[in-house]
Amino acid sequence: MSPQSRARQIRDVVFVDGVRTPFGRAGEKGMYADTRADDLVVKCIRELLRRNPSLPPERVDEVAIAATTQTGDQGLTIGRTAALLAGLPRSVPGFAIDRMCAGAMTAVTTTASGIGFGAYDVVIAGGVEHMGHHPMGDGADPNPRFVTERLVDPAALNMGNTAENLHDRFPDITKERTDAYAAASQEKLAKAYAGNQIQPDLVPVATKKAGAGWTLSSVDEGPRPGTTVEDLATLRTPFRPHGRVTAGNASGLNDGATTALLASADAAEELGLPVKMRLVGYAFAGVEPEVMGIGPVPATEKALKQTGLSIEDIGLFEINEAFAVQVLSFLDHFGIADDDPRVNRYGGAIAVGHPLASSGVRLMTQLARQFEEDPSVRYGMTTMCIGLGMGATVIWENPNHPEYNTESTEASK
């Protein structure tokens, strides 16, 4: 070893801030039908810089942006192009990530690892999905070996079918339970909006429609407040005759973008940046693609084992609601009630929407705000299922908790 070399130490990583655009409905009638995907990301990056004026733009070391369909207006190494379009110095590099639904979550964990290793001090990580411009699977060409060699059931390429498979595997998760959970998600989101708990982290977007001129979009387009279990019971089951998965107990098709600002604890202190959460640990896991919704279970077990925590230590859960059955399979596994107040306090993707690669940072932003509201909670979790059979879990610590100490690595042992 060279005399000049020094032993590297793992550094604490903190979540400084997170923002998102309002989520729109995908399609010609959606509010972002005539808005570019990369412009949505640019809005978020600029808002992060505006909200954190003590951060010199040249101190951003990396921009990692995820997209599931990396083509058109969300292609061309979107992390780099969005950085340039947002006005960051040309010295700031960027890259693109694809882990389907967990794209933004992977952007966070990947760059956070770089911070912990010492490669970066400050990063911007997030995701975008314009499902109106780029429907899920658009342009994809799955290898025929998946079918000919029976590597994966062809139904696994349709996420709705995998949700029906989860119902088959767990018959105790009935349609009545999933509809009740979905109605509660809508109610919780409406309550969060009424309490101004969502709006502070939304970036208004000026949108233009042919023949209608410009509009400032400042709220999510998908929520259906007032939805009842009776309403949901009437919806058709498009993935299987007499099935259990409907448009009402699943997330919609959406457009939107998210970004987060991450830093080392030392850099945050140096630059006078706020600390909203501390990263404790994370894990990804693979499962059978045919039941991809169960992915958060092994990912969470893995993350808990790595951090030395138990499920009882987690005081808040932000679980991406791709499908109600997927959330309930997680809750049942860990013995958590359907209506546990620790779970998705602001509602979830069933109500607000799920623009695939962007959703991971929405979970984090909402958890950070809940940490601020509830200092009694020390640890929280963001977790989600991932298409083609994976799960992702990230565990965070609340800096508002009396026992929080950014100098301590006790929680990571």
Domains of the chain and CATH, by start: 13-134+152-396 (3.40.47.10)
The one-letter amino acid code at 236 reads R
101 is catalytic: yes
Q: How many CB atoms lie within 10 A of CB 273?
A: 20
- Of the residues 130, 134, 385, 401, which is catalytic? 385
| pLDDT value at residue 140 | 87
130 is catalytic: no
| pLDDT value at residue 6 | 58
44 is catalytic: no
What predicted TM-score, i.e. pTM, was given to this entire model? 0.95
* Nearest CA-CA partner of 10 in 123, 125, 122, 112: 112
- Of the residues 130, 242, 354, 401, which is catalytic? 354
pLDDT tens sequence for the chain (413 residues): 454 455 678 999 999 999 999 999 999 999 999 999 999 999 999 999 999 999 999 999 999 999 999 999 999 999 999 999 999 999 999 999 999 999 999 999 999 999 999 999 999 999 999 999 999 888 889 899 988 998 888 878 789 999 999 999 999 999 999 999 999 999 999 999 999 999 999 999 999 887 788 999 999 999 999 999 999 999 999 999 999 999 999 999 999 999 999 999 999 999 999 999 999 999 999 999 999 999 999 999 999 999 999 999 999 999 999 999 999 999 999 999 999 999 999 999 999 999 999 999 999 999 999 999 999 999 999 999 999 999 999 999 999 999 997 544 444 44
- Of the residues 101, 130, 133, 134, which is catalytic? 101
| pLDDT value at residue 7 | 65
